Homo-oligomer: A and B are copies of this chain.
Amino acid sequence: MPGEFDLIHWIRAQQTTSDLVKLAAGDDLAILKWPSNDLLLVGCDQVLDGVHFDSTVHPARAIGRKAMNRNLSDCAAMACLPAAALVSVALPKGRDIEYAKELYLGIKEAGDKFDCAIVGGETGTWDGKLALTISILGRSDGIAPVPRGGAKPGNFLYVTGPLGGSLLGRHMTFEPRVALARQLAKGNWRLTSMIDLSDGLSRDLRQICNASGLGAWVNATAVPIHEDAIEMRRDGRAPLEHALHDGEDYELLFTSPDPDVTPAILIGAIVSDPGTWLVMKDRSRVPLEPKGWEHTF
């Protein structure tokens, strides 16, 4: 890419410092000193043109923000504190350096809100479509990570906000629930399992159930429905269907033995029998099949 070295210099000049970082991006690897009391949580997530965004519609900065926010949402799902990120960009030939900077600024904007330093990365150009991969490092910082597999029979099932219809725009603009996750996990309640809703409630609930070896009942009348899900009724699917199966809400789904987790909405319970069920208004039960769908633009 013409100007690739300009871009590298520009990115280095943007870098925020952090107590953890002994040597930031610019060498073969960045050097961090991890606090000895902290667990290190790591994961990665990619966003692909035509799957997670549409580069002909969404501005570069919004694409960068989404790529970072999906990783920050994974931190929320474990109740850990985002600490550092690594960024890889596969840039289509023909996109200029200004476009790459906008991607990077979106990533940085999202990271800065959580003091998450970008400590490394690379930009390569190719005769292919735009892809961004971000790896995230989180710290436990005094709060035990909340895994998916810790739910117990009789636990209550909670969600942190209204669901459905994110395709109308929220899938690009959501705010990762890091602060809320930390508040919940260190608060007056016991959290036994947690996940962020990226693939849709019906699918992500299965992840908790499978990891915990249990089942769940969801109260159909209790599921909070986002106004976007009502708006999307136009497509012939009921708002509840959107709330149950649409992906990319990025709210948190978690379980607790406590019946009064007030910052969240109680929607059901964990049971010993495997399988996930929807309990209707008339108390009948219907299977809650995972129907989370993939975006195709």
Which A residues form the contact surface with B (CB < 8 A)? Answer: 22-23, 26-34, 36, 39-46, 48-51, 74-75, 77-78, 80, 84, 86-88, 90, 119-122, 124-129, 131, 133, 135-138, 145, 147-149, 195-196, 211
Give every chain B residue within 8 A of A32 (Cβ-Cβ). 39-42
A211 B138 Cβ-Cβ under 8 A? no
Q: Report the bound CA distance from A128 to B90 in whole Å.
A: 11
Give chain B nearest CB distance to A245 CB in angstroms.
Answer: 16
The 5 closest A-B pairs by CB, nearest first: A36-B36, A135-B135, A28-B77, A29-B43, A133-B133
Give every chain B residue within 8 A of A28 (Cβ-Cβ). 43, 74, 77-78, 148, 195-196
Give every chain B residue within 8 A of A27 (Cβ-Cβ). 78, 147-149, 211
A126 B124 Cβ-Cβ under 8 A? no
> What is the copy number of this chain in the assembly?
2
A90 B121 Cβ-Cβ under 8 A? no
User: Given the interface contacts A27-B148, A31-B39, A126-B129, does A44 sit within 8 Å of B78 by beta carbon?
Assistant: no
B44 A74 Cβ-Cβ under 8 A? no
Q: Report the bound CA distance from A127 to B119 in whole Å.
A: 30
Give chain B nearest CB distance to A15 CB in angstroms.
Answer: 14
Give every chain B residue within 8 A of A29 (Cβ-Cβ). 41-43, 74-75, 77-78, 80, 136, 138, 145
Give every chain B residue within 8 A of A126 (Cβ-Cβ). 48-51, 129, 131
A33 B40 Cβ-Cβ under 8 A? yes
Q: Report the bound CA distance from A90 to B49 in whole Å.
A: 11
Give chain B nearest CB distance to A246 CB in angstroms.
Answer: 18
A128 B131 Cβ-Cβ under 8 A? yes
Q: Report the bound CA distance from A29 to B126 in whole Å.
A: 29
B43 A133 Cβ-Cβ under 8 A? no
